[in-house]
Structure 1
């Protein structure tokens, strides 16, 4: 397993925070703090991940979709 890129870091952070459903979602600003990044950068990464179907954004809170969860879990197999 190599160094995680920005998308992988976001997905792994959401996984580690158990943000796997709308009622367990975390705020974009909290996610930015967790990965030690700027909110604007996190928003651009999230846009890409949303377009790919890996995360969902609801009221500025973000969580992994089932597709995103499968992508994270595939890193460990």
Structure 2
């Protein structure tokens, strides 16, 4: 009888250890996936910001050139 109780206790401990290990593994995988997705979003955002800056500078410069051309034609 004591032998059965011993193995039941060992089984409970083994199940707890396995569940903790599986939980840690799943948590690690989900955190890694979230980190990769966040890094991808950050890179995309940085790229879009740099493209936006280039476009706004180009548009501002283009308007400046058009303004000077109009002034030349008027004068």
So what's the TM-score if we normalise by structure 2? Answer: 0.21
Higher relative CO (CA 8 A, sep ≥ 6), structure 1 or 2? 1
The structure in which a higher percent of residues are helix is 2
User: TM-score, normalized by length of structure 1?
Assistant: 0.21
Larger radius of gyration: 2
